[in-house]
C-alpha cells in the first residue's frame, strides 16, 4: 500500500480510501489510485484491515458428523446460502461422530475468532461449545444455553409408522440409531407411540439400534429379516439405515418406511415411504438464528411430510 502511495505521490490514507470506496476523495484521484492498484496487482490485507477496524471475521463455522452423508451435505448448502447472502464465508469440518474431535474443532474455530458456529453435535454434553456464538442443528442443547433447529423427529416417525399400520402391518421392526442420540431416541419414541396408539405390541426382538454405516445397517436388517418370526415391515430411522434395509430387502421382501428422503427413491421398484423434509432449510434456519441472534432463546422445528413411493 505504501508502495502504491509513494509511486503516486499521495499518502497511504488516500489509497486506503480509494480502495474502500470511502467518499471524501475526488473522483479523479480515486481513478488514478485504482489504476495503479490494478497495475501493481496489489491486494489489500484483510487481516490487517480487521485488526485495525475491529470488525469480526466474516467467517462462520459448520461442524457436522460427516459431510459424506447427503443430509449433512444439504444442510451445508443451506448454511452456505445464508452465509453467502451476508458476505460471510464458511469453514466446514467433520467430527466423524467423535466428540473429542468435535471439541478440538470448536477450540480451533474459537481461536480463529470465527463469527459463529453451526454444530450438529456428536454427543449429548455440549458444554464445550463455548467461546463463540453457537446454534445447534438436529439436536437440542444440553448443558449450554443456545438456539437450535430441530426436525420433527417424533412426528415424522410417528406418521411413517402409521402409514405402515394403515397398510395392515402389525409386525413392524425398527432400525435406528443408538438411544443415547437425540434423533435415535426421538424417532424411536415416535415408532413406539404409533404402535401403542394402534394397540400393537412393540417387540424388542425386531429392534436394532446401532451407530453405523450402510453395511452395518444392511447386516442388521438381514439378521432381523432372517428370523422365523420376522417383521413384515420396518421403520428405518435415517438414510443410512434405509439404504441398508433396501439392500437386505432384495432377498427378504419387507415393507419399508424410512426417515430422510433418498434422491432416487421413486426409481426403486420397492415399496418405500419416506419422511421427507427440507434438509437445506435446517441449515438456512440455523444460519439465520446465528446471524440474527435475537435476545430470546429460539427453537425452530422444521416440519416433515410423508412421501410414498409405492
- How many whole angstroms separate alpha carbon 293 and alpha carbon 288? 8
Q: Where are the beta strands (DSSP E) in 138-181?
A: 147-151, 172-176
Given its own copies, DNA, none, residue 233, with its beta carbon under 5 to 8 Å by kind, binds none
- How many whole angstroms separate alpha carbon 99 and alpha carbon 90? 21
- Binding window for its own copies (CB under 8 A); candidates: 38-46, 149-157, 176-184, 287-295: 38-46
The answer to whether residue 251 forms part of the interface with its own copies (CB under 8 A) is no
Instruction: Identify the CA nearest to 62 among candidates 153, 113, 145, 135.
Output: 135
Binding residues for DNA, how many (CB under 7 A)? Answer: 27
- How many whole angstroms separate alpha carbon 92 and alpha carbon 80? 10
Hunting for cell 416433515 — which residue is that? Answer: 304
Q: Which of residues 268-307 bind DNA (CB under 7 A)?
A: none
Is-contact 128 103, C-beta < 8 A? yes
- Binding window for DNA (CB under 7 A); candidates: 19-27, 119-127, 183-191, 292-300: 19-27
Q: How far is the CB of 248 from its own copies (least distance, A)?
A: 11
Nearer to its own copies (CB atom), residue 18 or residue 195? 18
Q: Which of residues 41-60 bind its own copies (CB under 8 A)?
A: 41, 43-48, 50-51, 57, 59
The answer to whether residue 85 forms part of the interface with DNA (CB under 7 A) is no
Is-contact 33 10, C-beta < 8 A? yes
Q: Is 235 exposed, middle or buried (0-12, 13-18, 19+ CB in 10 A)?
A: buried
Which of 6, 7, 31, 49 is the binder for DNA (CB under 7 A)? 49
- Binding window for DNA (CB under 7 A); candidates: 42-50, 79-87, 91-99, 136-144: 42-50
Q: Is 212 exposed, middle or buried (0-12, 13-18, 19+ CB in 10 A)?
A: middle
The answer to whether residue 91 forms part of the interface with its own copies (CB under 8 A) is yes
- How many whole angstroms separate alpha carbon 287 and alpha carbon 279? 13
Given its own copies, DNA, none, residue 26, with its beta carbon under 5 to 8 Å by kind, binds DNA
Residue 111 CB neighbours (<10 A) = 10
- How many whole angstroms separate alpha carbon 272 and alpha carbon 182? 24
Q: 302 has which bridge partners?
A: 151
Which of 21, 24, 166, 168 is the binder for DNA (CB under 7 A)? 24
The answer to whether residue 139 forms part of the interface with DNA (CB under 7 A) is no
- The torsion region of residue 189 among left (phi > 0), alpha (psi -120 to 50) and beta comes to alpha
- How many whole angstroms separate alpha carbon 158 and alpha carbon 187? 8
Nearer to DNA (CB atom), residue 8 or residue 306? 8
- Binding window for DNA (CB under 7 A); candidates: 17-25, 88-96, 137-145, 271-279: 17-25
- Binding window for DNA (CB under 7 A); candidates: 18-26, 126-134, 205-213, 273-281: 18-26
Which of 12, 35, 77, 226 is the binder for DNA (CB under 7 A)? 12
Is-contact 238 183, C-beta < 8 A? yes
The answer to whether residue 21 forms part of the interface with DNA (CB under 7 A) is no
Binding residues for its own copies, how many (CB under 8 A)? Answer: 49
Residues that bind its own copies in the complex, under the rule CB under 8 A? 41, 43-48, 50-51, 57, 59, 66-68, 70, 73-74, 76-77, 80, 84, 89-94, 107-113, 130-131, 243, 246-247, 250, 262-264, 266-270, 280
Q: Would you tell me which residues interact with DNA (CB under 7 A)?
A: 1-2, 9-14, 16-17, 19-20, 23-29, 44-45, 48-49, 51-54
Amino acid at each position: 500500500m505504501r508502495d502504491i502511495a509513494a509511486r503516486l505521490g499521495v499518502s497511504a490514507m488516500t489509497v486506503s480510501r480509494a480502495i474502500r470506496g470511502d467518499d471524501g476523495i475526488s473522483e479523479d484521484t480515486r481513478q488514478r489510485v485504482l489504476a495503479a492498484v490494478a497495475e501493481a496487482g496489489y491486494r489489500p490485507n484483510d487481516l490487517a484491515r480487521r485488526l485495525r477496524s475491529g470488525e469480526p471475521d466474516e467467517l462462520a463455522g459448520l461442524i457436522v458428523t460427516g459431510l459424506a452423508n447427503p443430509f449433512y451435505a444439504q444442510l451445508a448448502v443451506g448454511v452456505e446460502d445464508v452465509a453467502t447472502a451476508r458476505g460471510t464465508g464458511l469453514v466446514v469440518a467433520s467430527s466423524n461422530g467423535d466428540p473429542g474431535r468435535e471439541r478440538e474443532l470448536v477450540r480451533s474455530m474459537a481461536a480463529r475468532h470465527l463469527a459463529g458456529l453451526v454444530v450438529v453435535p456428536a454427543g449429548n454434553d455440549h458444554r464445550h461449545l463455548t467461546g463463540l456464538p453457537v446454534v445447534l442443528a438436529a439436536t437440542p442443547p444440553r448443558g449450554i444455553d443456545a438456539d437450535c433447529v430441530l426436525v420433527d423427529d417424533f412426528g415424522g416417525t410417528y406418521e411413517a409408522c402409521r402409514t405402515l399400520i394403515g397398510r395392515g402391518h402389525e409386525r413392524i421392526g425398527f432400525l435406528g440409531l443408538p438411544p443415547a442420540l437425540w434423533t435415535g431416541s426421538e424417532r424411536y419414541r415416535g415408532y413406539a407411540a404409533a404402535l401403542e396408539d394402534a394397540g400393537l405390541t412393540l417387540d424388542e426382538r425386531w429392534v436394532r439400534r446401532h451407530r453405523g454405516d450402510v453395511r452395518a445397517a444392511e447386516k442388521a436388517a438381514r439378521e432381523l429379516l432372517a428370523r422365523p418370526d420376522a417383521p413384515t415391515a420396518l421403520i428405518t430411522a435415517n438414510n443410512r439405515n434405509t439404504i441398508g434395509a433396501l439392500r437386505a430387502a432384495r432377498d427378504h421382501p419387507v415393507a419399508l418406511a424410512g426417515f430422510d428422503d433418498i434422491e432416487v427413491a421413486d426409481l426403486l421398484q420397492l415399496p418405500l415411504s419416506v419422511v421427507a423434509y427440507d434438509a437445506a432449510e435446517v441449515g438456512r434456519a440455523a444460519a439465520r438464528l446465528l446471524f440474527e441472534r435475537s435476545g430470546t432463546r429460539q427453537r425452530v422445528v422444521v416440519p416433515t411430510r410423508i412421501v410414498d413411493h409405492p
